[in-house]
Amino acid sequence: MKRNKVTLNDIAREAGVSAMTVSRAIRGLPGVNKDIQKKITDLAVSMGYIPNRSLGDTTREQTSMTVGVVLPYLGNTIFSTILENIELVLSSYGYRTLLCCTFNNIIREFHDISALLERQVDGIIWAPLELNGSLSAAQIIQKQHCPLVFVDRTIPDCKTDAVLVDDFVGSLTLTRHLMDQGITKIAYVGPVQHSYVEEERRNGYLKAFEERGLSPRAEWMIKVKTETSHPEIEAISRILQCQDRPDGIFCFNDTLTIGSEMELLNRGIKIPDDMALVGFSGTSEMQIARIPITGVFQDGPQLGKTAAEFLLKRMINRKIRLQPEVRIIKTRLETRQSSLRNNAAL
């Protein structure tokens, strides 16, 4: 079972010196006889010596040079982009990334966080699943005084750094855009799960109604289980069955947006003439789609990089009690054919 790895002691025995001398020689510290120095380095190479960093260092230095990243899943480009950019920034500072996917499972999320703490991570970047359900895990982290940065999603009750998207403003802008075209019967398609992001986007959508003294019909609020294989098929089906049928759809994320377009086209519904379509998005899929789709662009790389930088700041200034900082990354409205009724040429 053992890997019978080569240790300092193995080399020491072989070289006929103490482990200490080997340690010095390998680290290139002064005070080692040139010949012995050479002999030891040669031996280290030929024996295939690899220093054990997870042990010695972590114990004594109280730092593992490892950070945990906890994301719901990677199927949505926004999360894989965030992860990639966190890795890019942190690795340039010598930190390694321990990845956990929670797969929208709140129990799993709790275990993941615990496992990270047990592994002595120096910090955690996390997109929490729920506003309430994720709270206990957050409290454990904070009790350990482990640096924590929320990314994409947050738990406002926790006083800690967060890097977020302006979900509210983005959704408001998107919904206003539809209303500016006279499209006011707008359905909302989002996940059943009650997360920070879901709340913000839904509120932005509702705000646009409120601004015009309107409010959406209850039947237009479509909540789907995003874990199922084709939630958008059910969503579109329910939208088309509404007593007062919508003439526009606001989708919570890329997957739902793209899926909805496919399903609408499959059913022979004309976009945007029969049904306008907009969606919250971080991907380029919106522009390459059959009918290019209007959406708000999220700067994924920026989200990931900023989160990593926030965490680095916290990990370096362990004692300094900085005020929690919340950075909102702006979205950009990208208007395309799917929502432009009287101006197909864009």
Partner DNA sequence: GTGAAAGCGCTAACAG
Partner DNA sequence: CTGTTAGCGCTTTCAC
Residues that bind a second copy in the complex, under the rule CB under 8 A: 1-5, 48, 50-55, 58-59, 62-64, 66, 69, 73-75, 77, 80-81, 83-84, 87-88, 91, 96-101, 103, 112, 114-115, 117-120, 140, 143-146, 258, 261-262, 284-285, 288-290, 292, 318-319
Minimum distance from residue 96 beta carbon to DNA (Å): 17
Among 38, 42, 59, 322, binds DNA (CB under 7 A): 59
Pick one of a second copy, DNA, none as the site partner of residue 31 (Cβ within 5 to 8 A by kind).
Answer: DNA
Residues 41 and 301: their CA atoms lie apart, in Å, by 42
Residues 276 and 270: their CA atoms lie apart, in Å, by 9
| Contacts with 254 (C-beta within 8 Å, 6 or more apart), sequence order | 76, 77, 78, 279, 280, 281, 282, 283, 285, 286, 295
Among 56, 75, 156, 182, binds DNA (CB under 7 A): 56
Residues 135 and 143: their CA atoms lie apart, in Å, by 12
Minimum distance from residue 74 beta carbon to a second copy (Å): 4
By beta-carbon proximity to a second copy, the closer residue of 109 and 247 is 109
Residues 215 and 185: their CA atoms lie apart, in Å, by 9
By beta-carbon proximity to DNA, the closer residue of 34 and 321 is 34
# binding residues, DNA (CB under 7 A): 29
CA distances from 48 to 3, 4, 40, 56 (A): 13, 12, 12, 19
The angle that helices 34-47 and 19-27 make with each other, rounded to 10 degrees, is 90
Does 5 interact with DNA (rule: CB under 7 A)? yes
CA distances from 235 to 99, 251, 256 (A): 32, 10, 9
Does 19 interact with DNA (rule: CB under 7 A)? yes
Residues 59 and 212: their CA atoms lie apart, in Å, by 61
Does 143 interact with DNA (rule: CB under 7 A)? no
Query: Any alpha helices (H) in 62-166, and if so which ranges?
Result: 77-91, 106-118, 135-143
| Contacts with 325 (C-beta within 8 Å, 6 or more apart), sequence order | 161, 162, 310
Among 13, 38, 47, 52, binds DNA (CB under 7 A): 52
For residue 233, give both structure tokens: 């098929």
Does 57 interact with DNA (rule: CB under 7 A)? yes
Pick one of DNA, a second copy, none as the site partner of residue 305 (Cβ within 5 to 8 A by kind).
Answer: none
| Contacts with 192 (C-beta within 8 Å, 6 or more apart), sequence order | 223, 224, 225, 226
Minimum distance from residue 65 beta carbon to DNA (Å): 13
Minimum distance from residue 13 beta carbon to DNA (Å): 11
Q: Which stretch binds DNA (CB under 7 A): 51-59, 153-161, 259-267, 301-309?
A: 51-59
Among 34, 143, 145, 321, binds DNA (CB under 7 A): 34
Pick one of DNA, a second copy, none as the site partner of residue 335 (Cβ within 5 to 8 A by kind).
Answer: none
Contact, 97 vs 86, CB < 8 A?
A: yes
Minimum distance from residue 205 beta carbon to DNA (Å): 48
Q: Which stretch binds DNA (CB under 7 A): 9-17, 96-104, 146-154, 227-235?
A: 9-17
Does 21 interact with DNA (rule: CB under 7 A)? yes
Residue 7, Cβ neighbours under 10 Å: how many? 16
Minimum distance from residue 220 beta carbon to a second copy (Å): 25
**DSSP string for 116-137:** HHHTT-SEEEE--S-SSTTHHH
Q: By the criterion CB under 7 A, which residues form the site for DNA?
A: 5, 7-9, 16-21, 23-24, 26-27, 30-34, 36-37, 51-52, 55-57, 59-60, 62
